[in-house]
Amino acid sequence: MKLDYIKITNFRNFSRIILPRFSRINMLIGENGSGKTNFLEAIQTLTTLSPLRPVGFPELIRWGSDFFHLHGEFDGHTVELGFSEKKRLLKIDGDKSNKAGLARIAPVVAFMPDDIDIIRGAPENRRMFLDRALSAIDPQYETALRRYYRTLRQRNAQFKLNPRDVTIWDAELIDWGSMIIMKRLPYIRILNDKIRELYRELYGREIRIRYMNPFRIEGSVEESFRNAVKTGAREELRRRCTLFGPHRDNFCIQMDDKKSDTFVSQGQLRSLAFALKLGVVRSIEDSSGGRPILLVDDVLLEIDEVRREKILDMISMDYQIFFTMTNGALISRVFADCSVFQVNGGEIALPR
Amino acid sequence: MLPENIERFVREFSRLPGIGRKTSERLSFFLLSQPDEFAGELADSIIRLKSDMRLCSVCGNITDKDPCAICSDTSRDETVICVVETAIDIFYIEETASYKGIYHVLGGVISPLNGVTPDDLALKSLLMRATAGAALEVVVALSSTTEGDATALYIAQMLQDKGLKITLPARGIPVGTDIQYAGKGSLAQAIRNREEMK
Ligand SMILES: Nc1ncnc2c1ncn2[C@@H]1O[C@H](COP(=O)(O)OP(=O)(O)O)[C@@H](O)[C@H]1O
Ligand SMILES: [Mg+2]
Ligand SMILES: [Zn+2]
């Protein structure tokens, strides 16, 4: 997929930007606070309806105005997103549409500075990463997740209200929870393949992802889950909360039999996070057949030059990419099809 | 600032489901522009709605005489009981004219988050009606949400081994609180093609 044109109105620090063409490789260069991430955020919001940073739509409106509007052309499809007075309107090729329609036309994957928290942060970060990535390609997963978390809240409330009745929620918990785990496991395999490939290439070392859940899976996931709930019933009653299920699952990255968080450098952490996101890219390609657009925000800086070049080799031929950086000298190589945009105080200059 | 009377109207009306302040304000100005009789009749209809209606002591339906019209209709099939969340669901199912059995209103679904336990629902009376009377089948027509599905399972377990067939409206079609949003046709189909609960 390729973005060919964008018009941005009253979004973040842009009042009006029109960029009539893009290359395969696009570099946005500007000082801190100039609007580079905001530009990526415009693309991300237009194509996924969720901003890059965890804010509501009202915060995306340029201060002092009362609406924003985004208009992009993707391989001949027009996508428009307007927001004003708490209402948003998405149109694809002139017709009102929704998230599902977008995923088919313009899949996008963003590589952000805080991606390293997926590896370094608390287990919630990893669960959230998996849940977001899977929801984007599998509407059934999204439903299972919603139903599971609703059941979990009811079940935990039940422990407080009347623990005797907690089994009322077991069937829902096990049904939806098993579906989530069964969809996560093959996804972990995709991520595993990507991360091993990249790590071997860059660092010549072996690495793998291990999925961890608080019960052993023997036979079917559902059966194992049911057994765990049964044998853990007393412990749950004592602790008065739900102890088993995908809300407690985690994954870790093991390298030469040591855990990643204790042993790797900032550059390695960056590369690992990058590899995970490449796994997300691959899963989108596998599920939709389309090549996502990559938004790469400042994340290559901490990787040394030799490895940075290798990473660029791995992605620059296959995807349209938007890179941001404060200093253009950081990427010295010459790309065949490349445009450089200077970003300055909410203005973006067309490439000369 | 609106005059006190309008403000009071707006405050009360915006408590209705689906009606916000903006709509209430518009309604108030519309009412003011109408002949006096209109406001009088509207107010009277609201008061009568509450004063002349009660709950059927048999099924929990909303009615102006007890037992309700359905419970006192001898042509209804008493071997089938349809369990619904609220009385309005009866109204929607009746509109489809595709169900001839009787009803039982639960008064909600199990939801500890809202403090609703099985004891708060008309479950004991359901057990009595289903086992003491002529019933052969219980149709559990609750919304297909986490709470609706868990409540349905609870009912199935409560009634198991009692010689009753427990069924659900055909899946894939929203029922229960969603009944009002399902088209008449698809609701009729869901009620007619019910499936036995596993
Ligand atoms: N809703 C908004 N309206 C106007 N300016 C905004 C808004 N949100 C953020 N900004 C401004 O955008 C700038 C940050 O832009 P950003 O794209 O994050 O910078 P960078 O180029 O470093 O990535 C800040 O100066 C901030 O004040
Ligand atoms: Mg930035
Ligand atoms: Zn009745």
Q: What percent of chain A has pLDDT over 90?
A: 70
B150 alpha carbon to ligand 2 midpoint, in Å?
47
Query: Are B150 and A153 an interchain contact pair (Cβ–Cβ within 8 Å)?
Result: no
- Does an H or E element contain B55, and which? strand B54-55
Query: Are A161 and B154 an interchain contact pair (Cβ–Cβ within 8 Å)?
Result: no
Query: Are A172 and B110 an interchain contact pair (Cβ–Cβ within 8 Å)?
Result: no
ipTM > 0.95 (yes/no): no
Three-class SS of A55-87: CCHHHHECCCCCEEEEEEEECCEEEEEEEECCE
What is the per-residue pLDDT for A304? 87
pLDDT, one tens digit per residue, over A106-139 is: 899 999 999 999 999 999 999 999 999 999 888 8
Which residue minimizes the CA distance to atom 25 of ligand 1? A33
Under 8 Å between Cβ of A29 and A341:
yes
pLDDT class of B2 with cuts at 50, 70, 90: confident
Looking at the complex, does the CB of residue A165 fall below 8 Å from at least one CB of chain B? yes
Closest atom of ligand 1 to A39 CA is 17
Map out the domains of chain B with their CATH numbers.
Answer: 4-52 (1.10.8.420), 62-196 (3.40.1360.10)
What is the number of alpha carbons within 13 Å of residue A54 lying toward its C-beta?
2
Phi, psi of B169 (to 5 degrees): -60, 150
CA distance B150 to A170: 9
* DSSP class of A344: E
Looking at the complex, does the CB of residue A168 fall below 8 Å from at least one CB of chain B? yes
* A160–chain B nearest CA distance, Å: 9
Which residue minimizes the CA distance to atom 4 of ligand 1? A13
Q: Which residues of chain A have pLDDT under 70?
A: 256-263, 330-332
pLDDT, one tens digit per residue, over A185-223 is: 999 998 999 889 888 888 888 889 999 988 888 999 999
pLDDT class of B186 with cuts at 50, 70, 90: confident
Computed over its alpha carbons, how large is the radius of gyration of chain A?
22
The position carrying tokens 């309806």 is A49
Map out the domains of chain A with their CATH numbers.
Answer: 1-107+291-352 (3.40.50.300), 115-289 (1.20.1050.90)
What is the per-residue pLDDT for B39? 93
What mean pLDDT comes out for the span B155-174?
86
A39 alpha carbon to ligand 2 midpoint, in Å?
9
- Does an H or E element contain A110, and which? strand A108-111
User: Please, which residues have CB within 8 angstroms of residue A120's CB and are 6 or more apart in sequence?
Assistant: A261, A269
Q: What percent of chain B has pLDDT over 90?
A: 76
